[in-house]
Structure 1
Amino acid sequence: MRPKVAVLSLGGTISSVRGSGPGVVPRLTGRELVESVPQIAEVAEVEAESLRQMPSSDLTIEDLVGVAGEARRRIAGGAAGVVITQGTDSIEETAFAMDLLVEGDAPVVITGAMRNPTLPGADGPANLLGAVHVAASDAARGLGALVVMNDEIHAARFVRKTHTQSPATFRSPVVGPLGWLSEGVVRLAWRIPARHTVEPPPLDAGQQVALLKLAVGDDGRLLPAVREAGYAGLVIEAFGGGHVPSRMVGELQRLAAEMPVVLTSRTGSGDVLRNTYGFSGSEMDLLSRGLIWGGVLDGLKARLLLTILLRRGEGREEIEAAFGEWYI
Structure 2
Amino acid sequence: MYVPISSRLLSALCALALLAGAVPAVRAADAAPSAHVTILATGGTIAGSGATSTTTVGYTAATVGVERLIQAVPELAKVAQVKGEQVFQIASENMSNAHWLTLAKRVNVLLAQPDVDGIVITHGTDTLEETAYFLDLVVKSKKPVVLVGAMRPGTALSADGPINLYNAVLLAASQEAVGKGVLVAMNDQIHGARDVTKTNTSTPDSFKTPELGMLGYFQGNKPYFYHVSTRKHTLDTEFDISKLDALPQVDIVYGYANVSPVALNAVVAAGAKGIIHAGVGDGSLASKVLPSLTAARKQGVLIVRSARVGQGIVARNGEANDDELDFVVSDTLNPQKARILLMLALTKTSDSKEIQRMFYTY
Tell me if TM exceeds 0.5: yes
Q: Is the 8 A contact 1:12 1:86 kept in 2?
A: yes
Partner SS state of residue 92, structure 1: helix
The whole-number CA distance in structure 1 between the counterparts of 2:312 and 2:59 is: 38
Q: CA deviation at 1:224?
A: 1.8
Q: CA deviation at 1:18?
A: 5.1
Matches within 5 A, 1:221-300: 221-257=262-298, 258-275=300-317, 277=318, 282-283=319-320, 285-300=321-336
The equivalent residue for 2:84 is 48
Does 2:98 match 1:62?
yes
Does 2:163 match 1:126?
yes
Does 2:67 match 1:31?
yes
Q: CA RMSD in A?
A: 1.7
The equivalent residue for 1:114 is 151
2:39 to 3, 7, 24: 7
Deviations, residues 36-67 of structure 1 (Å, cap 9, x unaligned): 10110000011111000111111101111111
Q: CA deviation at 1:325?
A: 1.3
Q: Is the 8 A contact 1:10 1:52 kept in 2?
A: yes
The equivalent residue for 1:190 is 227
Does 2:349 match 1:314?
yes
The whole-number CA distance in structure 1 between the counterparts of 2:286 and 2:308 is: 14
The equivalent residue for 1:98 is 135
Structure 2: gaps of 5 or more residues: 1-32, 52-57
The whole-number CA distance in structure 1 between the counterparts of 2:47 and 2:65 is: 7
Aligned AA for 1:121? Answer: S
Partner SS state of residue 88, structure 1: coil
Q: Which moved more, 1:22-31 or 1:75-84?
A: 22-31
Equivalent residue pairs, number: 317
Q: Is the 8 A contact 2:105 2:242 kept in 1?
A: no
1:176 to 213, 228, 232: 213
Change (3 A) 1:236 1:84: same
Aligned AA for 2:292? Answer: E
The whole-number CA distance in structure 1 between the counterparts of 2:102 and 2:46 is: 21
Deviations, residues 5-40 of structure 1 (Å, cap 9, x unaligned): 110000111111259xx8424221112111110110
Q: Is the 8 A contact 1:293 1:324 kept in 2?
A: no
Q: Is the 8 A contact 1:64 1:94 kept in 2?
A: yes
TM-score relative to the length of structure 2: 0.84
The whole-number CA distance in structure 2 between the counterparts of 1:93 and 1:86 is: 11
Partner SS state of residue 247, structure 1: coil
The whole-number CA distance in structure 2 between the counterparts of 1:313 and 1:189 is: 34
1:305 to 337, 341, 344: 341
Deviations, residues 117-141 of structure 1 (Å, cap 9, x unaligned): 1110111000000000111111111
Aligned AA for 2:158? Answer: G
Does 2:175 match 1:138?
yes
Does 2:78 match 1:17?
no
Partner SS state of residue 39, structure 1: helix
Query: Who wins on radius of gyration, i.e. which is larger?
Result: 2
The whole-number CA distance in structure 2 between the counterparts of 1:44 and 1:201 is: 29
Structure 1: gaps of 5 or more residues: none
TM-score relative to the length of structure 1: 0.92
Q: Is the 8 A contact 1:271 1:296 kept in 2?
A: yes
Aligned AA for 2:103? Answer: V
Matches within 5 A, 1:191-206: 191-196=228-233, 197=237, 198-200=239-241, 202-206=243-247
Partner SS state of residue 82, structure 2: strand
Q: Is the 8 A contact 2:111 2:141 kept in 1?
A: no
Q: CA deviation at 1:156?
A: 0.5
The equivalent residue for 1:208 is 249
Deviations, residues 68-104 of structure 1 (Å, cap 9, x unaligned): 1111111111211110001111100010011011022
The whole-number CA distance in structure 1 between the counterparts of 2:46 and 2:275 is: 33
Q: CA deviation at 1:200?
A: 1.4
Aligned AA for 2:310? Answer: G
Aligned AA for 2:345? Answer: L
